[in-house]
Chain A
Amino acid sequence: MKIIKFIVIIVFVILMAPGRAVAGGPFGPPQPIAKEAGGIHTGIGYWFHEDKYINGTEQVTRQNQIYSELGYGSRNGWEITARVGMSDLKLIDAFSSSTASTATSKMDFEEHGKFFSTVGAKGFYPFNKTFGMGAFIQGTYYFSDFTDNVSGNRNGVPFSVELAVKNLWDVNFGMGFQATVPYGIKMYIGPYVHYSELKVSPSADVAGIALASGETTMKNKTVLGGFAGIEVPLAKGFRLNLEGQYTERLSAGAAVLYVY
């Protein structure tokens, strides 16, 4: 009971703390999904992700990721996981002008279908059959740049500029508390630290468009976040994992995993 109270307090503090960040991809339950004797698991998943980056100006990003996952480990020990997937990227209001003299054809930066890879590792310590805690580290890197063009006019002079988002990556580490309830359902929750960077590179500078003013490296606004999720056994060795990471915005996703 004390543990549950402790978890509730931690979650409350995390969710209520001002200025939180979101991270890329679910962390999963602290306990490895693998069989007790060890083995691999695979999975597919979808992740809706939002984040806020800052460097002079604030920029909200939105992504839809689909991925395939492969992991190896043992149930009461450790696990390493690798994911490969595709993601889109939207920078909301990236092309909106702050001056009346500049008009653009669209507001949002948007591109689809870029590959990313995520690697992660976790360790788990069971208190008893029901409760346990674990720690994890997970990082994501995007292999290629996201690019989008915007056209418009400034003081009646037409322009066209290409914006590239380069070297998008993040790293996350945290700890999770887990309770295994009847039917093998695992519920988990915990805090994590998140760091992410991206580089914005315009082909030309345009006055009034904040991101089109030289190459800029942006970092995520805040580093502390919280996550919670549930893992439910399905039929025939499959498991469903639902997870949410709530900060200023909600990131959430689902994965179906198969344990060999």
Chain B
Amino acid sequence: MKAFSFPVLLFVFFAAGCAHSPDPAASLAPPVAPPQVQQVPVVSDSVQIPSPPPEMTVKSETKNADEYGDIEVSDKVSEEAKAEIADPLEPFNRAMYHFNDKLYFWLLKPVAQGYGKVVPKAARVGVSNFFANLAFPIRFVNCLLQANFEGAAAELGRFTVNTLWGVGGFLDPASSQDINLSKQDEDFGQTLGAYGIGQGFYINWPIFGPSSPRDTVGLVGDTLLRPFTYLNPWYAGTGTWTYDRVNDTSLNIGDYESLKGAAIDPYVAIRDAYVQYRLKKVNRKGGNIPAEDSGLPKK
């Protein structure tokens, strides 16, 4: 296991870059992007982008010149962050994008639609709640690793309340107005990001979809903390994971289509949305990202 993990970590280190804070001067300078690098504007509050990872550039624009050449300070201070990621594997990634696209339209979507017709939405939401509750160890451990003790306590509370009063997690009383314990959407990829490890480059995995070396290592960590990984025989765990995916897809049919339909180059749009989404998650400590900030187009 050690012999395997060392080259993986070495690979991640070189691929992702060192864990250091970017030079502020360099951050404000115009990004010098290689041909593969794409830029995505990210609008967010200034306080929510404390120290972007190395490959992310933050640009502030608080002053505008008017038609007379005077500098005017706008009332609404906007801050634009540009998230970019190298894509040296673009031919492979584009091939995997097409593979995943076909997998979605030819297999996953029809199965999810059929499942959605048979199973009422309330039951599917219950199943989704159940699997989310089952993934509690991932969120709890990563809250602790990010020293987000308040988030860890909220997760522990959520797990207790939802398991005991949510009929094993099928219901979500913890999110009710009375209890109001919001889900801390944390994973290992975010934890690595919080420690300053950059995304590295873009990888589009078959089946698993958009990722990066950092998030791929994170995915391995998340998988180890997911209880149904340990189901025996192995195909029971795989089947459970597949069912979870089908169930989730049945509740989100149309999201992918919207993103794809709105984009001139869907591959680039998905890559950019992914980078933007992950950046937001790394920068945001605890809680879910609102749908309008997720990078997905509104329905």
Contacts and interface: CB of A to CB of B under 8 A. Distances in A.
The 3 closest A-B pairs by CB, nearest first: A237-B178, A258-B165, A236-B178
Interface in B161-188: 161, 164-168, 171, 173, 176, 178-179
B166 A42 contact: yes
The CB with the most chain A CB atoms within 10 A, among B168, B171, B173, B179, is that of B173
Contact of A260 (B164, B168, B176): B176
B160 to A, nearest CB: 10
Contact of A68 (B164, B176, B178): B164
A260 B167 contact: no
A70 B167 CA distance: 7
Q: How many residues of A sit at the interface, in one of the four size bands?
A: 10 to 19
A44 interface: yes
B145 to A, nearest CB: 29
B1 to A, nearest CB: 36
Contact of A44 (B165, B176, B178): B165
Contact of B171 (A238, A257, A260): A260
Interface of A: 40, 42-44, 68, 70, 236-238, 256-258, 260
A68 B168 contact: yes
B179 A236 contact: yes
B174 to A, nearest CB: 10
Contacts of B165: 42-44, 238, 256-258
Contacts of A44: 164-165
Interface of B: 161, 164-168, 171, 173, 176, 178-179
Contacts of B173: 42, 237, 258, 260
B127 to A, nearest CB: 16
Nearest to A42: B165
Contacts of A237: 173, 176, 178-179
A40 B172 CA distance: 12
25 contacts: A40-B171, A42-B166, A42-B167, A42-B171, A42-B173, A43-B165, A44-B164, A68-B164, A68-B167, A68-B168, A70-B167, A236-B179, A237-B173, A237-B176, A237-B178, A237-B179, A238-B165, A256-B165, A257-B165, A258-B161, A258-B165, A258-B173, A260-B171, A260-B173, A260-B176
The CB with the most chain B CB atoms within 10 A, among A42, A68, A238, A260, is that of A42
A37 to B, nearest CB: 15
A253 B16 CA distance: 57
Contacts of B176: 237, 260
A118 to B, nearest CB: 15
Nearest to A260: B173
Given A42-B167, A260-B171, 8 more contacts: A42-B171, A44-B165, A68-B167, A70-B167, A236-B178, A237-B178, A258-B173, A260-B173
A70 B176 CA distance: 17
A40 B166 CA distance: 11
Nearest to A41: B165
A105 to B, nearest CB: 37
Nearest to A257: B165
Contacts of A238: 165
A10 to B, nearest CB: 34
Contacts of B161: 258
B181 to A, nearest CB: 10
Contacts of A43: 165
A67 B270 CA distance: 47
A42 B167 CA distance: 7
Nearest to B161: A258
A256 B166 CA distance: 12
Contacts of A68: 164, 167-168
Nearest to B172: A260
The CB with the most chain A CB atoms within 10 A, among B165, B167, B168, is that of B165
Nearest to A236: B178
A238 B161 CA distance: 11
Contacts of B171: 40, 42, 260
A105 B165 CA distance: 42
Nearest to B171: A42
Nearest to A237: B178
A213 B281 CA distance: 69
Contacts of B178: 236-237
A42 B171 CA distance: 9
Nearest to A44: B164
A113 B211 CA distance: 45
